[in-house]
Chain A
Amino acid sequence: MSWFSQTLTSSIGKKLLMALTGLFLISFLVIHATINAMIFYNDGGETFSHWGHFMGTNPIIRTLEIGLVAGFLIHIIDGLMLWKSNRDARPVKYAVNNAAANSTWYSRSMGLLGTLLLIFLVIHTSHFWIPNRSNQFATGEELNLYQMMLDTFQNPVVVLIYVLGCVSLFWHLLHGFKSAFQSLGLNHVKYNGAISFVGTAFSIIVPILFALMPISIYLGWVK
């Protein structure tokens, strides 16, 4: 094995990949939340569709989208590999384990929260991204994503699934954001406070913003 693949498959290397792809996916969330928040202009989807069209057709964005898919795949596959090796590291479990005394439940449940997010990701992309890209590939035309949102979020079960997805995202980010910096070795008395504050604020603001989208459409605030 070359030194490079040896590094990336070591315990620390796997965490390095998780941190880098995690922070990359966080940067994606910023763009995704910002553009989707254009629906709150409540202008019949005009602003949203303008930017949606840009994101769906701009060649630079479309190229970066390949990187985004790769980022998701690496984060997911690497996460599953870590889950496997971490589970194998303790074949016999404790009969009594008071883990709550030394760590938070969500920091110990990143694999579970990530799996819930993966399930949500499959549902979410099959609602919007996959049909739209398939149609673009087949006909060269984009679908009316705004109308699709209005239709999809009439179903209360779908709205509930999206809200639960946002709840999982909140807990995943609450640990993941700060954890990424520690994995990268960025633990410094001058910056820890800022990382912690930004991480917590981000984890609260972004999932709430996302959750408000299906809720607002379902309740008819956004038409």
Chain B
Amino acid sequence: MEGNMRLSLKVWRQSNTDAAGGFEDYKLDNVSPDMSFLEMFDVLNEQLIEEGKEPVAFDHDCREGICGMCSMYINGRPHGPLRGVTTCQLHMRSFKDGDTIVVEPWRAQAFPVIKDLVVDRDAFDRVISAGGFISVNTGNAQDANSLPIAKEAADDAFAAAACIGCGACVAACKNASAMLFVSAKISQLALLPQGQAERSIRAEKMVAQMDAEGFGACTNTGACSAECPKEISLENIARMNREYIGAKFSSSAV
């Protein structure tokens, strides 16, 4: 079709966690600029299947930018060249005819490659299990006005809760640090009345789990926030530092 693009792809292929991986070169001759990046990969996989080759494994689920499953380090940036966009919402019109696109998995000690572009992000789930929740008795929901919440606190908590846990912050950080993710999860609860009961222990346990998973520390380069598809603010990391240091020096957990 007119306006369609020819692209060269360099894609990381790795058969399993322990296998040595490497780049494979692929050519696509008829890529519509209206395709999403993942649809372009669907086309590539159809082509590979027809050739009798193993399709490229990649994570995806909702394909509408809200589930946090898609990843891919595209031309040196997580989720590709656009700001505030997941890979599934990136369209081929952001590339030019004849481009070579390099696609790698997230790289982090805590995110081992499972296959090709799929990495194991269970480390995030374990950080959440360590304290990213509130404990409430079951029963009828309270009246909405029984817990007054300041508009600013509600807004900040909502902005932090927009984190979809995709791991782009870890992928972008030169230290593979998970602080933007963990700080968003700590913030969304620390800002609301429901989060107060477990506020100290939550900060202590989630940070301890983050460290145990082997994520790096924060150098405040701001790369995480710049690459975050949900544009989570660095203010959350400052808040997490306050929460953690405050909890460590004042809680009764020794």
In the complex, what's the smallest C-beta–C-beta distance from B133 to chain A, in angstroms?
Answer: 21
Q: Which residue of B lies closest to A8 (CB)?
A: B248
- Cβ of B235 under 8 Å from chain A: yes
B107-A93 in contact (CB<8A): yes
Q: Which residues of A contact B26 (CB under 8 A)?
A: none
Known A-B contacts A89-B110, A184-B241, A185-B242; A107 and B221 likewise in contact (beta carbons under 8 Å): yes
In the complex, what's the smallest C-beta–C-beta distance from B135 to chain A, in angstroms?
Answer: 23
Q: Which of A35-43, A55-63, A95-103, A137-145 contacts B (4 or more CB under 8 A)?
A: A95-103
B245-A185 in contact (CB<8A): yes
Q: Which residues of B contact A185 (CB under 8 A)?
A: 238-242, 245
For A154-192 the 0/1 string (1 means CB < 8 A from B) is 000000000000000000000100110011111100000
For A11-34 the 0/1 string (1 means CB < 8 A from B) is 111111000000000000000000
A12-B207 in contact (CB<8A): yes
A15-B175 in contact (CB<8A): no
B220-A182 in contact (CB<8A): yes
Q: Which residues of B contact A89 (CB under 8 A)?
A: 108-110, 175-177, 214-216
B226-A102 in contact (CB<8A): yes
In the complex, what's the smallest C-beta–C-beta distance from A163 to chain B, in angstroms?
Answer: 26
In the complex, what's the smallest C-beta–C-beta distance from B161 to chain A, in angstroms?
Answer: 19
Tell me the residues in window 92-119 of chain A with beta carbons closer than 8 Å to chain B beta carbons.
92-99, 101-104, 107-108, 110
- Cβ of A82 under 8 Å from chain B: yes
Q: Which residues of A contact B248 (CB under 8 A)?
A: 3, 6-7, 13
B241-A96 in contact (CB<8A): no
Candidates B23, B102, B172, B216; contact of A86 at CB < 8 Å: B216
A11-B216 in contact (CB<8A): yes
Interface SS of chain A: helix
B174-A108 in contact (CB<8A): yes
A101-B238 in contact (CB<8A): no
Tell me the residues in window 39-91 of chain B with beta carbons closer than 8 Å to chain A beta carbons.
73, 75-77, 81
In the complex, what's the smallest C-beta–C-beta distance from A168 to chain B, in angstroms?
Answer: 17
Q: Which residues of B contact A7 (CB under 8 A)?
A: 245, 248-249
- Cβ of B116 under 8 Å from chain A: no
Known A-B contacts A94-B104, A103-B223, A179-B219; A10 and B109 likewise in contact (beta carbons under 8 Å): no
A-B contact sample (15 more), CB < 8 A, given A90-B175, A96-B75: A10-B211, A14-B217, A89-B176, A90-B107, A91-B109, A92-B107, A96-B76, A101-B226, A102-B77, A102-B227, A103-B223, A179-B220, A185-B241, A186-B238, A187-B238
Write 11 A-B pairs (CB below 8 A) sorted by A numbering: A86-B216, A90-B174, A96-B76, A98-B77, A102-B172, A102-B222, A103-B226, A107-B220, A107-B222, A110-B219, A185-B242
- Please report A residues at the B interface, Cβ cutoff 8 Å: 2-3, 6-7, 10-16, 82, 85-86, 88-99, 101-104, 107-108, 110, 175, 178-179, 182-187
- Please report B residues at the A interface, Cβ cutoff 8 Å: 12, 23, 73, 75-77, 81, 102, 104, 107-110, 172, 174-177, 179, 207-208, 210-211, 214-223, 226-227, 234-235, 237-242, 244-245, 248-249, 253-254
